[in-house]
Amino acid sequence: MKRRDLLRGTGLAAVAAGLAACGAREGGSAGTASDVRLSWKMVTSWPANLPGLGTGAALLGEMITRASGGRLRVRVYGAGELVPAFEVFDAVSRGTAEMGHTASYYWKGKAAAAPFFCAIPFGFNAQEMNGWLYEGGGLALWRELYAQFGLVPFPAGNTGVQMAGWFNRELRSLADLRGLKMRIPGLGGEVMAKVGATPVNLPGAEIFTALQSGAIDACEWVGPYNDLAFGLHRVAKFYYYPGWQEPGPTLECMVNKTAFEALPDDLKHIVETCCRAVNDAMLAEYTARNQQALDQLVREHNVQLRRLPDDVIAALRRASEETLEAMAAADPFVRRVYDSQRAFRAQAQAWHAISEEAYYAARR
């Protein structure tokens, strides 16, 4: 039987060699990549396939699945399908889902600094936000903040400058904001409270009913492309700009830290690269679709398009500075984030004054 054992041995050795070889061919930094075959859940704060936000999340899942050759398959769930819109943070932190697509300004109850990584009133537009996050130290601060929750955040989309929102009556001056019940989340809500309004936070899907029932008098959602999809023009006629509260909100992809760190290097890079590609893709979609939707709102639905009165803009800007300063004074991490943003904003604002702004003026 010796010879047979020897031969069988040869056979098994060859099998081992074969398997080793395919690991090697797969190669690179991820020696174990060929053994990986994962299915991940992505929970989101958006209705499934909502234009822009929902389709952006869907695109991210598709990109990761394709770029990984199916080794990391991502299934995307709309708000409420697996967990409610505002439970995405806990679900991914716990590991109920490996990843989520949402916005960090929903999590100010978890960490006071969280909203600063999404949108800052009178802060960065999309281009400036990306500059700060990737080249100005913003992403490092975000990673540091989320690490304590077992989360790894990635910028994964931007809507560009939003609209100031929908109001069921005309705003003639600052006085008209007093006592106004408005759906406005994040830091914008804090600022609205400071000028006398009553901010309310609701998931997108609940805005229409709240405005229709009179539970709220006004709301901000995103911009024409998304607001038309929600039919907000059917429950409010006055549509105000510009979106001082969200001049360039970053959407976030959050990944459970344990799940992320268990990935081979190539899949880590694929997740990170796909998030960055979606960060580019979503802004392009909003840039292309907003005006088409706005035309429809104004021409077909007789929406009244208005610029916020000057005294309202001035009061909101003042209240924004006071609100952000007070938050920074109350929380050392907010202080670090806010100081980092102010330093970068001074620079970006000076550059954009002679580049983007001067160009818009020259083109007119």
Measured from the CB of residue 79, what is the shortest distance to its own copies in angstroms?
25
Q: Under DSSP, is residue 324 helix (H, G, I), strand (E, B) or coil?
A: helix
- 262 touching its own copies, by CB under 8 A: no
Indicate the residue among 81 and 135 with the shorter CB distance to its own copies: 135
Give 181 or 306: the residue with its C-beta nearer to its own copies.
306
Return the residues of window 287-306 that contact its own copies according to CB under 8 A. 287-292, 294, 305
Judged by CB under 8 A, does residue 65 bind its own copies? Answer: yes
Out of 66, 169, 178, 301, which residue is the one contacting its own copies (CB under 8 A)?
66
What distance in Å separates the CA atoms of residue 328 and residue 340, rounded to the nearest whole number? 11
Residue number with CB closer to its own copies (16 or 329): 16
Q: Which stretch binds its own copies (CB under 8 A): 94-102, 146-154, 325-333, 349-357?
A: 349-357
Residues 122-161 interacting with its own copies (rule: CB under 8 A): 122, 125-128, 130-136, 160-161
| CB neighbourhood size of 181 (10 A) | 16
β-pair type (151-158, 250-256): antiparallel
Q: Which residues does the annotation place in the binding site for substrate?
A: 162, 183, 220, 246
Judged by CB under 8 A, the stretch of 50-58, 183-191, 255-263, 307-315 that binds its own copies is 307-315
- How far is Cα 44 from Cα 25, in angstroms, rounded to an integer? 36
What residues between 308 and 337 interact with its own copies by CB under 8 A?
A: 308, 313, 317
Residue in 112, 266, 337, 341 binding its own copies, rule: CB under 8 A: 266
How far is the C-alpha of 36 from the C-alpha of 216, rounded, in Å? 49
Q: Which is nearer to its own copies, 94 or 359 (CB)?
A: 359
For the CA atoms of 31, 35, 39, 42, the dihedral, rounded to the nearest 10 degrees, stands at -10
33 binds its own copies (CB under 8 A): yes
- Minimal CA–CA distance to 342: which of 362, 321, 363? 321
Q: Is 173 in the site for its own copies (CB under 8 A)?
A: no
| Residue 18 binds its own copies, judged by CB under 8 A | yes
Distance CA 54, CA 45 (A): 8
Judged by beta carbon, residue 102 or residue 279, the one nearer its own copies is 279
In whole angstroms, what is the distance from residue 34 CA to residue 23 CA? 6
Q: How far is the CB of 319 from its own copies (least distance, A)?
A: 14
Q: Choose the binding region for its own copies from 33-41, 48-56, 91-99, 254-262 (rule: CB under 8 A).
A: 33-41
Pick 83 or 267: Cβ nearer its own copies: 267
- Run of H or E residues at 140: helix 138-147
**Residues annotated in a binding site for Na(+):** 221
Q: Compute the CA torsion angle 297, 300, 304, 307 (nearest 10 deg).
A: 40
CB 225 within 8 A of CB 289: yes
- Residues 303, 237: contact at Cβ < 8 Å? yes
Q: How far apart are CA 149 and CA 236, in angstroms?
A: 39
- Interface with its own copies, residue 81, by CB under 8 A: no
Site membership for its own copies, residue 63 (CB under 8 A): yes
* 4 near its own copies, rule: CB under 8 A: yes
- Stretch touching its own copies by CB under 8 A, among 8-16, 180-188, 204-212, 334-342: 8-16
State how far the Cα of 47 lies from the Cα of 257, in Å rounded to an integer. Answer: 25
Tell me which residue has tokens 């007093």: 178
User: What contacts 97, CB < 8 A, 6 or more positions away?
Assistant: 40, 41, 42, 43, 77, 82, 83, 88, 91, 256
Pairing of strands 238-241, 304-307: parallel
Q: How far is the CB of 41 from its own copies (least distance, A)?
A: 18
